Amino acid sequence: MSATIIDGKAIAETVRGEAADRAAALEAATGVKPGLAVVLVGNDPASEVYVRNKARLTVAAGMASFEHKLRANTSEADLIALVERLNADPLVHGILVQMPLPGHIDSDRVVLAIDPAKDVDGLTPANAGRLVLGRGGLVPCTPQGCIILAKHALGPDLAGKEALVIGRSILVGKPVALLLQAESCTVTMAHSKTHDLAGHCRRADILVAAVGRPEMVKGDWIKPGAVVIDVGINRIAQEGGKTRLVGDVAYEEAREVAGAITPVPGGVGPMTIACLLQNTVTAAEAQVRPGA
């Protein structure tokens, strides 16, 4: 039996449409157009593609896009000074600093400089803490996207499902595990020190892979009928000098066993951008109508 392919591209289009409607309603009511600032340090070619995609889709959703491309040798102080200017800029409601940053910059200090009200990545201690406590705040985009995709496959009620998250980063693994727990799943978090990863995978009704290792999760690790959400974005070399994107799951093997699976590209990636636009509108609404 072959898995249902979860169409992240189509689902993301719907989510972006909702963000566009909310942005238009806010502008009609208050005259304020939500604005998103993206900061990229250095010229990593893959990151440049994401930044370009984000800018195009932000404008298409009726929001303002501000791009700041800084040289790879930009100092931490100059980067923090830019973040502080964006914090103070009334046209900017959301700030995203693309990770990873070059090695000479302490990313914790940069994230701490972001106004939590504009932290559309949900990385500041204020937003991360609210997520742990279950008290709202801005929630990281990729984890939100994972939950939406899992619900597309399983329906809105995820309660009681066995969920395994591979990866425990602040950007993806930890928040996705918290969101699954909030949906009343029974959650296991695996990482580089986990023993018998394959055995853990085989118990999972929902498997989220956020590792950054191309095709690490094999088909025979997957419980028949499971929902597989592949967060990995890995560029690998192909014959003829070309490259291609693959996830953290061996897709061709996995789709023979899983009940539903997200492709790479066209799965979680587009959802990340769609949820970023939603977070930008949410941030703008709160900044325009505090307490509303």
Ligand X SMILES: Nc1nc(=O)c2c([nH]1)NC[C@@H]1CN(c3ccc(C(=O)N[C@@H](CCC(=O)O)C(=O)O)cc3)C=[N+]21
CA-CA distance, 246 to 13, in Å (whole number)?
22
Locate all alpha helices (DSSP H) within 155-245, ordered by sequence. 173-182, 197-202
Partners of 261 in the β-ladder: 5, 228
Q: Considering the rule CB under 6 A, would residue 98 count as an interface residue with ligand X?
A: yes
Residue showing tokens 């719907």: 14
Residue 160, SS3 per DSSP: coil
User: Which option in ligand X, ligand NDP, none does residue 58 bind, with CB closer than 5 to 8 A by kind?
Assistant: none
- The binder of ligand X chosen from 79, 269, 282, 284 (CB under 6 A): 269
Residue showing tokens 């963000």: 19
Q: Considering the rule CB under 6 A, would residue 269 count as an interface residue with ligand NDP?
A: yes
Shortest Cβ 57–ligand X spacing (Å): 9
Measured at the alpha carbon of residue 141, what is the angle toward residues 135 and 143, in degrees to the nearest 5?
Answer: 75
Is 121 marked active-site?
yes
Pick 62 or 122: Cβ nearer ligand X: 122
Cis-peptide, bond into residue 265, ω within 30° of zero: yes
User: Which option in ligand X, ligand NDP, none does residue 167 bind, with CB closer than 5 to 8 A by kind?
Assistant: ligand NDP
Q: Considering the rule CB under 6 A, would residue 94 count as an interface residue with ligand X?
A: no
- The binder of ligand X chosen from 42, 102, 259, 265 (CB under 6 A): 265
CA-CA distance, 215 to 232, in Å (whole number)?
9
Does 233 show up as a binding residue in the annotation? Answer: yes
Does 212 show up as a binding residue in the annotation? Answer: no
CA-CA distance, 27 to 6, in Å (whole number)?
33
- The binder of ligand X chosen from 167, 173, 232, 270 (CB under 6 A): 270
Phi, psi of 202 (to 5 degrees): -65, -15
Q: Considering the rule CB under 6 A, would residue 272 count as an interface residue with ligand NDP?
A: yes
Residues 83-122 that bind ligand NDP (CB under 6 A): none
Pick 16 or 161: Cβ nearer ligand X: 16
Residue 230, SS3 per DSSP: strand
Nearest Cα to 16, choosing from 46, 36, 43, 42? 36
Task: Record the tokens describing residue 231, joined without a space.
Answer: 């967060």
Residue 139, SS3 per DSSP: coil
Is 54 marked active-site?
yes
Q: Considering the rule CB under 6 A, would residue 35 count as an interface residue with ligand NDP?
A: no
Q: For residue 282, how far is the Cα from the chain centroid?
A: 16
Pick 26 or 177: Cβ nearer ligand NDP: 177
- The binder of ligand NDP chosen from 73, 184, 192, 243 (CB under 6 A): 192
Nearest Cα to 166, choosing from 237, 243, 249? 249
Annotated catalytic residue, options 119, 121, 205, 230: 121
Shortest Cβ 24–ligand NDP spacing (Å): 26
Residues that bind ligand NDP (CB under 6 A): 142, 166-169, 171-173, 190-194, 197, 210-213, 231-234, 268-269, 272
- Which residues of this chain interact with ligand X, rule CB under 6 A? 49-50, 53, 96-99, 121, 141-142, 171, 233, 245, 264-266, 269-270, 272-273
Which residues fall in the annotated binding site? 167-169, 233
- Which residues are identified as catalytic? 54, 98, 121
